[in-house]
Amino acid sequence: MARIVGVDIARVDYPFVGEFKFFRTPERPTILLRLIDEDGREGLGQSVPVESWTYETIESAETTLRDYLAPAVLGADPRDLDDVHARMERAIRPSFSVGQPIAKAAIDLACYDLWGKQVNKPVMSLLPGGSLTGKTASEVRLSWTVQSPTIAGAEKALEQGRALGYSNFNIKVGNPQTPDYDLELVRTVMNFAPDGFHWCDANTSYTLDTARRMAPKFADLGLKAIESPLPPNRIRDYQTLKKLGALPVLMDEGIVSPVEVAEFIALDMFDGIAMKVARCGGLWNASRVARLLHDNGLLLYASGLTDPELSMAASAHFFGWAGLTYPAALNGPQYIADRGTTDAAFRARRDSLPVPTGAGLGIRPEDRALRALAPAARMRDVLPA
């Protein structure tokens, strides 16, 4: 198979619609990455850092990709993801888990895109076994994010979601909101859509005492799960909360590689994971984490990092491969202009996101973004600088 002989990168930002408390700019910043093989084929990937969710910034992702990871993957076979990730781990070493996984996800996704184009198959068919459960999905049903410091704002968000065809909602709770406000917010959502599938996400901001107090109350209101109630290094606290059994406990932050997931399963810390492809360094790790969940009878929920087009397409392939049964908290179509993509063929319709069927990731960003790509690394005996 043709080796990787060139890597290009560019910063590409996407305009926001509405306001999301985790972003401090009017645009969603990303790094677009292109791999070039010996036959001139191209594979595209995308890094989606958010400094308020993780330590990676747009600046660190760009320099890491350009100066460290791009040279490291020259000469690699894009199909050999084990080798590609080993090369990236040697270039940027792990600490507790994978080092700078959101930056590394751009190369992982571009490898899958390039591999798919080399063999003329969609990414979903390249993931292990072709499916996780024996069933795949051609579309992913979405949930709408509800986050507001006021109930009036939450009611407006709910109406906006309903107008676009959404009936399932994921709810942001925790700091800076008070527990009493969180209960009122959840009650508002449940009254608005009593037949929907709803869960809450505290983004690690609760203490154990607060989580133990809130989980039974959320369960009484009808929520299906509580996501990331505690910081991921509070191992004994997660064990205590799971043992309480009031509400399924999902982890998100802290879930990066299969190594710690296997350890956390052995430690009986959670009932499932709200999976993010970007946080796991891409599809290679995400698919192995999903297999661990499936084999241990644990819950697989879907989440993201307000991903635009390429990263969102990778999520669609992943959750389609997993045969996801729950609505996915992929809110790129909610918060990014043009429903998160410049490729009109890959666009959410109402609350349904299609899994692309073309080769590789199956989408193409607009020409303006592709023209911005500039060389980061070259095999000089093959491609000019």
At 249-306, the pLDDT tens digits run 999 999 999 999 999 999 999 999 999 999 999 999 999 999 999 999 999 999 999 9
CATH of the domain at 38: 3.30.390.10
CA-based torsion, 6, 11, 14, 19: positive or negative: positive
Shared domain for 175 and 319, answered yes or no, is yes
Confirm whether 297 is domain-assigned.
Answer: yes
Is the pTM here over 0.95, yes or no?
yes
Confirm whether 385 is domain-assigned.
Answer: no
Residue 31, H or E segment: strand 27-37
At 330-342, the pLDDT tens digits run 999 999 999 999 9
Shared domain for 181 and 103, answered yes or no, is no
Please say whether the beta carbons of 289 and 267 come within 8 A.
no
Strand pairing category for 352-354 and 299-302: unpaired
Confirm whether 10 is domain-assigned.
Answer: yes
Confirm whether 359 is domain-assigned.
Answer: no
> Distance from CA of residue 109 to its chain's centroid?
12
Q: What are phi and psi of 311, to 5 degrees?
A: -65, -35
Strand pairing category for 42-47 and 27-37: antiparallel
Four-point Cα dihedral 71, 72, 73, 74, nearest 10: 50
> How many domains is the chain partitioned into structurally?
2
Shared domain for 259 and 157, answered yes or no, is yes
Q: What is residue 81's predicted lDDT score, i.e. its pLDDT?
A: 98
Confirm whether 384 is domain-assigned.
Answer: no
| Domain span at 50 | 4-120+364-378
Shared domain for 219 and 287, answered yes or no, is yes
Shared domain for 10 and 106, answered yes or no, is yes
Q: What is residue 382's predicted lDDT score, i.e. its pLDDT?
A: 63
CATH of the domain at 138: 3.20.20.120
Angle between helices 283-295 and 101-119 (to 10 degrees): 90
Shared domain for 255 and 189, answered yes or no, is yes
Shared domain for 202 and 134, answered yes or no, is yes
Shared domain for 91 and 140, answered yes or no, is no
Shared domain for 109 and 151, answered yes or no, is no
Confirm whether 383 is domain-assigned.
Answer: no
Residue keyed to tokens 């049903």: 141
Shared domain for 102 and 142, answered yes or no, is no
Confirm whether 226 is domain-assigned.
Answer: yes
Shared domain for 92 and 154, answered yes or no, is no
Alpha carbons 321 and 300: distance in angstroms, whole number: 12
Q: What is residue 381's predicted lDDT score, i.e. its pLDDT?
A: 62
Q: One digit per residue, pLDDT tens: the chain, 385 residues? A: 799 999 999 999 999 997 777 777 789 999 999 999 999 999 999 999 998 888 999 999 999 999 999 999 999 999 999 999 999 999 999 988 999 999 999 999 999 999 999 999 999 999 999 999 999 999 999 999 999 999 999 999 999 999 999 999 999 999 999 999 999 999 999 999 999 999 999 999 999 999 999 999 999 999 999 999 999 999 999 999 999 999 999 999 999 999 999 999 999 999 999 999 999 999 999 999 999 999 999 999 999 999 999 999 999 999 999 999 999 999 999 999 999 999 999 999 999 999 999 999 999 999 999 999 999 999 986 665 5
DSSP assignments along 164-215, one per residue: TT---EEEE-STTS-HHHHHHHHHHHHHH-TTS--EEE-TT---HHHHHHHH
DSSP, collapsed to helix, strand or coil, labels residue 2 as coil
Shared domain for 112 and 131, answered yes or no, is no
